[in-house]
Amino acid sequence: MNRLLDDMLTADEKDAIDRVLGGRNPRFDLLVELSGLDPSKDFRDSDLRYLNFCGADLRGYDFSHSDLRHCIRNENTKIDDSTKFEGALIEWIEVEAVPIVLQMQGVESAPGSEQRRELLRRMISEFGRTQHIVTYLVSAATRAKKFDDFLDFADYLPSALNEDQRKSLRETALRLLAKRVSRSKSRTRREKTAIFATDSIVNRLRSSGGSLSEVIYSNLAAVINSKNETLALKDMAFVEPQDLEAAIRLL
């Protein structure tokens, strides 16, 4: 065991880890029993994404306010009225969809944009834009920390989305754009330099096709045309942050 962890853990905690690591059956509820955790309280307010609940007996578990998105279950997973999900985020994955989940995990752990986009391309090429995958892409986009990361997912989202999905994406894009513009201004302390914050965004939108990004680009063209500065997006120097913001609001 790592020396730092060894110093931080109690003897009971070390014993619990050893019991779990030595367990022969990977079934979730059996591992919980080995660990000594209490199903009625130790899984509240927890990030439990991507856990495998196949065959597990989840009766009596309290998952209140926990994140259970992309958790795997099958016909032998036992859930009844004693299983609590109050306030939990739930997106069950049936065991048949496990290959997709594994690819999603790869996307989540990708070290950079290029690798992430390649994994997304492969996933959609293999499985298509199913409802499950679109739901995942929306969720991942709304969790993005930077606008470029948001576009990685927007480039693969279909243009046809429901209003709730569009609202979530719209709010995220506006927040990330404001963050990017603010950072650009703070670097030079000049208002006009904020325009450079949008240059790379517009270039990416221009090269998108058949996706949500293309919708944003089309909206941007409409915004620019309405300003009578150009009839087509030929001179991108005229695109200001507020133009991009207006285009996003049209989603």
The greatest distance separating any two alpha carbons of the chain, rounded to the nearest whole angstrom, comes to 72
Of the listed ranges 2-11, 158-167, 211-220, the one predicted with least confidence: 2-11
CA distances from 80 to 17, 61, 85 (A): 29, 10, 11
Average pLDDT over residues 166-190: 85
Which ranges of the chain does DSSP label H, i.e. alpha helix?
A: 3-8, 11-21, 28-35, 98-108, 113-127, 131-142, 147-154, 163-188, 196-206, 212-226, 241-249
Backbone angles phi, psi at 137, to 5 degrees: -60, -40
Model confidence at 171: pLDDT above 80:
yes
Residue 218 has pLDDT above 80, yes or no: yes
Q: What is the pTM of this model?
A: 0.65
User: CB of 146 within 8 A of CB of 120?
Assistant: no
The answer to whether residue 209 scores a pLDDT higher than 90 is no
pLDDT at 245 (0 to 100): 92
Distance of CA 171 to the CA centre of its chain: 14
Tens digits of residue pLDDT in 25-79: 889 999 999 999 999 999 999 999 989 999 999 999 999 999 999 898 988 999 9
The sign of the dihedral angle between the CA atoms of 157, 159, 161, 167 is positive
Using a pLDDT cut of 90, give the percent of the chain over it.
53
| E strand or H helix that includes residue 72 | strand 67-73
Give bridge partners of residue 94 from the DSSP assignment: 73
- Torsions phi, psi of 77, nearest 5? -75, 125
Residue 63 contacts residue 38 (beta carbons within 8 Å): no
Task: Output the six-digit token pair for 124.
Answer: 């959609």
pLDDT tens for 92-120 read: 888 877 888 888 889 988 999 999 999 99
Cα dihedral sign for 114, 120, 122, 124? negative
